[in-house]
Amino acid sequence: MIITKKAIPRRTVLRGLGTTLALPLLESMVPALSAIAKTDAKVARRFSVVYVAHGYAPGFWTPKGTGADYELTMPLQPLAKFRDRMLLLSGVDNTAALQRPGDPRGGHGRMAPAFMCGVHAKPTQGADFQAGVSVDQIAAQHLGKETQLPSLQLSLEPVDFSGSCDSGYSCVYTNTLCWRGPTMPLPMEDNPRAVFERLFGDSGTTEGRLRAKRIREKRSILDSVLDKARTLSEGTSASDRRLFDEYLQSIRDVERRLETAEAQSSRELPVVAQPAAVPQTFPEYAKLMLDLQILAYQADLTRVSTFMLAKELSGRTYPEIGVAEGHHALSHHGDMEDKLSMLTKVNAHHTSMLAYFLDRLQSIPDGEGTLLDHSVVLYGSGHGDPNKHDPINVPLAIFGGDLIKGGRHVHHDHQHVANVHLALLHTLGVPAESVGDGNAAISLT
């Protein structure tokens, strides 16, 4: 679907992409987009989380040397270009994921909720799951007030494969990274077309008046639905209504988003083509999803995004780099040389995707600087050494412009990852008091 910024006649051609995969952003659009709405000359801050499962084998993350003088390990080589922007952390623990008596042995089910929410996931297989509020959603509550979408949640794996969940843990703990509330997981989008439509709506046009009209239609529908829903829930108990209350809450949230969208309906949007299908190779797929996040930032449709680059328990192979064994199988390396070698290749492959993201962020002007200048990107994993599901010393790197002092490796002494998150939130201007079980923000300077 090519969206033009002028009012388009109804017969405008909407064209699919075919075999091309990168979104061809026209350069001429970029200057216009850089004048994104700012309040009080304050720059719009973006927050991105890029999560990879299964950590790093010991010795492959923590560099030798601290401060500015350190040696990048092999899997981090693709990030060499961004060394001066990168705050590399070691000695940070995913403390909430430590096994407690009574926990199922696995661990994968604990890793992501602990990393993202700073809480110990309730050990259950059933529907009584419970986590916390994830760091991106805390950020979205604040940063998302001015945008149509409070946040974006993207992944590269569908959730409907059987047996893809950690034994003893509800599937939801590995299917998603993002939690609006302890019992409110958010679905992660793995379909690029669907992401595209969420960003640009289903009106098929960027023309302000028509988009506003469509928004008003949706609001009218939702008002009517809310009325109906209220009568439907009369006479039911609170516990019965739990899911239905989420439905009511969701309606109100969407209404709020539509309000914002309507207010911004005269905004210009870039000329892009809609993705046709899920790309067949991992690098193409990952880059396409990253491009969509960039697009969302550029058009200020959202300021928070979370990307699950690799899912916990993922069995994905990476034939493009010569790795024919599944990621999860490799992560139980048993200190065997061949497995370690393949695992670190996968790690490097993932960081090269991150490098692509950072590169694109840096190439896009945003106000006085670039998107990267005004972003905070968090890259990490819930696992330290994945061999024994060890949440100690997890990989964690923060990239940012003026907000983050990069170019150094800081080694902590068993710091709770939630405290790092809290510090990041404060840096972004989000007035959060705590993240999960964390007790105090660390210093990032």
Span 234-293, contacts to another protein by CB under 8 A: 235-241, 243-244, 246-247, 249-251, 253-254, 257, 276-277, 280
Of the two residues 43 and 159, which places its CB atom closer to another protein in the complex? 159
Establish if 204 lies at the interface with another protein (CB under 8 A): yes
Q: Which of 26, 42, 105, 443 binds another protein (CB under 8 A)?
A: 105
Burial of 335 (0-12, 13-18, 19+ CB in 10 A): exposed
Q: How far is the CB of 140 from another protein (least distance, A)?
A: 11
Q: How far is the CB of 240 from another protein (least distance, A)?
A: 4
Residues 6+ apart with CB under 8 A from 371: 46, 294, 297, 298, 361, 362, 364, 365
CA distances from residue 37 to 141, 267, 270 in whole angstroms, order as listed: 18, 9, 15
Of the two residues 246 and 405, which places its CB atom closer to another protein in the complex? 246
Asked if residue 378 lies in contact with residue 401, where contact means CB atoms within 8 angstroms, the answer is: no
* Token digits of residue 378: 């968090």
Q: How far is the CB of 353 from another protein (least distance, A)?
A: 18
Q: How far is the CB of 1 from another protein (least distance, A)?
A: 8
Check the CA dihedral 356-361-365-370 and report its sign. negative
Q: How far is the CB of 193 from another protein (least distance, A)?
A: 7
Establish if 7 lies at the interface with another protein (CB under 8 A): no
CA distances from residue 444 to 68, 88, 406, 437 in whole angstroms, order as listed: 15, 11, 10, 19
Establish if 193 lies at the interface with another protein (CB under 8 A): yes
Q: Which of 4, 6, 7, 16 binds another protein (CB under 8 A)?
A: 16
Binding to another protein in span 375-394, by CB under 8 A: 387-388
- Segment interacting with another protein, rule: CB under 8 A, options 63-71, 293-301, 321-329, 423-431: 321-329
Residues 6+ apart with CB under 8 A from 105: 99, 168
Burial of 320 (0-12, 13-18, 19+ CB in 10 A): exposed
Of the two residues 114 and 140, which places its CB atom closer to another protein in the complex? 140
Give the E-state strand segments of 74-175 in sequence order. Answer: 86-93, 152-155
Three-state SS string over 261-322 comes to: HHHCCCCCCCCCCECCCCCCCHHHHHHHHHHHHHHHHHCCCCCEEEEECCCCCCCCCEHHHC
Asked if residue 53 lies in contact with residue 314, where contact means CB atoms within 8 angstroms, the answer is: yes
> Which residue in the block uniquely carries the two structure tokens 């705590």?
434
Establish if 320 lies at the interface with another protein (CB under 8 A): no
Q: How far is the CB of 333 from another protein (least distance, A)?
A: 10
Q: How far is the CB of 300 from another protein (least distance, A)?
A: 18
Of the two residues 57 and 86, which places its CB atom closer to another protein in the complex? 57
Of the two residues 38 and 145, which places its CB atom closer to another protein in the complex? 145
119 — alpha (psi -120 to 50), left (phi > 0) or beta?
beta
Q: Which of 26, 42, 319, 413 binds another protein (CB under 8 A)?
A: 319
Establish if 429 lies at the interface with another protein (CB under 8 A): no
Q: Which helix (H) or strand (E) holds 400?
A: strand 396-400
Of the two residues 192 and 438, which places its CB atom closer to another protein in the complex? 192
Q: How far is the CB of 23 from another protein (least distance, A)?
A: 15
Of the two residues 74 and 159, which places its CB atom closer to another protein in the complex? 159
Of the two residues 63 and 326, which places its CB atom closer to another protein in the complex? 326
Establish if 162 lies at the interface with another protein (CB under 8 A): yes
Residues 6+ apart with CB under 8 A from 431: 142
Give SS3 for 140.
Answer: helix
Of the two residues 31 and 126, which places its CB atom closer to another protein in the complex? 126
Asked if residue 189 lies in contact with residue 198, where contact means CB atoms within 8 angstroms, the answer is: yes
Of the two residues 20 and 266, which places its CB atom closer to another protein in the complex? 20
Alpha-helical regions (H) of 144-237? 172-175, 192-200, 208-232
Whose CA is closest to 419, among 406, 431, 433? 433
Please state, in angstroms and rounded to a whole number, the distance separating the CA atoms of residues 166 and 169: 5
Establish if 127 lies at the interface with another protein (CB under 8 A): yes
Establish if 17 lies at the interface with another protein (CB under 8 A): yes
Binding to another protein in span 329-358, by CB under 8 A: 329, 334-338
Q: Which of 29, 74, 260, 316 binds another protein (CB under 8 A)?
A: 316
- Segment interacting with another protein, rule: CB under 8 A, options 58-66, 120-128, 263-271, 364-372: 120-128
- Segment interacting with another protein, rule: CB under 8 A, options 40-48, 155-163, 289-297, 377-385: 155-163
Establish if 186 lies at the interface with another protein (CB under 8 A): yes
